[in-house]
Amino acid sequence: MSDVFVLGVDMIKFGRFPDRSVPDLGAEAALLALDDAGLTIDNMEAFYCGNLGQANAMVGQRILQEIGQTGIPVVNCSNACATGATAFREAWTSIKAGLYDVVLAVGVEQMGAGLLGGTGGGAGIPKEGLLGSGTMPAVFAEAGMEHSRQYGTTFEQFAKISVKNHHHSTMNPKARYQIETPLDEVMNAEMISYPNTKLMCSVNVDGAAAAVLVSEKKAKELGMGRAVRVKASVLTSDPYQERDLVMPDVNSCTRKAAKEAYEMAGIGADDVDLVELHDCFATAEMLHYENLGLCEDGGAGRLIDEGEVELGGRVPVNVSGGLLSKGHPLGATGIANIYEVCTHLRGEAGERQVENAKIGLTHVIGLGSACGIHILEKA
């Protein structure tokens, strides 16, 4: 099976674009990635499109109506917040299978404002605030409090994650915000669902990201100069856990995916130079330090306390600013984090560049649950 390479990758600056459409945002990202690869839409043999909000509305085809209707196969996919990573992985799979040499993957989302989630619709009466809360800040707070229960993790430690990611985003011109948020500001912000304050919740934004993936044969033909090797692509669902039905599990699917990804890449967690992980809430990032093997179980609090996950630390996490400050356009996130890692591997990340980055890992979670992990290496 051929190795697979990212030849072109890019994202639009995340923000609020109420006057634009989903296909319009996706088309902009697709053109940026094609330009980055030095290719055009008529070079693409297939197109994998990730979007959640208009999952039944043929977003991929509508993007092609804006940039070129070449008649290639289009697959529209949705997989909660793992949607972008799933589209990217489908593209990867098609090259691995030997079907194509050059394919396009796009993730795009236009978001509303306010809380996501909520406890059940269905028959009868609304259950939110009656049978606990199904809002995302509460669900991920409960997952974080499970960590507090096990290891004594504090509100302040969770808050430090938000301080770090907001700091990182000041160096990322494509992030939604470039604003420092000191610890007291994070901890004193409006409490949404304890222990997550407003500044510890990801930002709802519109956004799009895209990648051109090629086979090894094609990469050699077109020039490997800025190509990035996909060393591992893994997707998992959540294995059975006894509290599944009331406590969506983001841990076991991540642990399973991480183990499989490290095996596929033939590396260990110690070999990873930077990580973009799914910090939909500050409480979530804490869990994934351990889930991804960046430290031993129970070591996550120490990792943030000692600065090991900051830019300049042992293994910088979310130097893009993460979902907390770069923003979280659901379907775009899983390709935007691949853009971030590739940018570092190419040595093009400017002020936030992770020095000598050779290998990076991206991780997303779709609640329900899906986990997508990619390991990328400078070619």
Report the distance separating Cα 10 and Cα 33, nearest Å.
5
> What is the nearest approach in angstroms of other proteins to the Cβ of residue 83?
24
Angle at 54 between CA 49 and CA 58, to 5 degrees: 50
Closer residue to other proteins in complex, CB, 191/264: 191
The one-letter code for the residue type at 267 is I
Among 38, 98, 132, 312, binds other proteins (CB under 8 A): 132
Stretch of residues binding other proteins (CB under 8 A), selected from 127-135, 306-314, 317-325, 358-366: 127-135
> Residue 15: which of 300, 251, 325 has the closest Cα?
325
Among 118, 299, 307, 368, binds other proteins (CB under 8 A): 118
Stretch of residues binding other proteins (CB under 8 A), selected from 35-43, 185-193, 261-269, 355-363: 185-193
Q: Is 324 helix (H, G, I), strand (E, B) or coil?
A: helix
Among 24, 128, 156, 260, binds other proteins (CB under 8 A): 128
Q: For residue 288, give both structure tokens.
A: 């994934």
What burial class does residue 347 get, using C-beta atoms within 10 Å of its C-beta: 0-12 exposed, 13-18 middle, 19+ buried? middle
> Does position 145 bind other proteins by CB under 8 A?
yes
> Does position 138 bind other proteins by CB under 8 A?
yes
Residue 101 sits at φ, ψ, to 5 deg, of -110, -25
> Does position 141 bind other proteins by CB under 8 A?
yes
> Does position 192 bind other proteins by CB under 8 A?
yes
First CA to last CA distance, the chain: 17
Among 3, 146, 185, 271, binds other proteins (CB under 8 A): 146
Report the distance separating Cα 237 and Cα 369, nearest Å.
6
> Residue 81: which of 378, 362, 377, 375 has the closest Cα?
362
Among 97, 184, 220, 243, binds other proteins (CB under 8 A): 243
Crossing angle, helix 252-265 and helix 282-291, to 10 degrees?
50
> Does position 193 bind other proteins by CB under 8 A?
yes
> Does position 131 bind other proteins by CB under 8 A?
yes
Closer residue to other proteins in complex, CB, 42/242: 242
Asked whether 44 and 210 are in contact (CB, 8 A), the reply is no
Among 113, 242, 351, 356, binds other proteins (CB under 8 A): 242
Residues annotated as catalytic are 81, 328
The residues of the shown chain that bind other proteins, judged by CB under 8 A, are: 115, 118, 123-133, 135, 137-138, 141-143, 145-146, 148-149, 155, 190-196, 240, 242-247
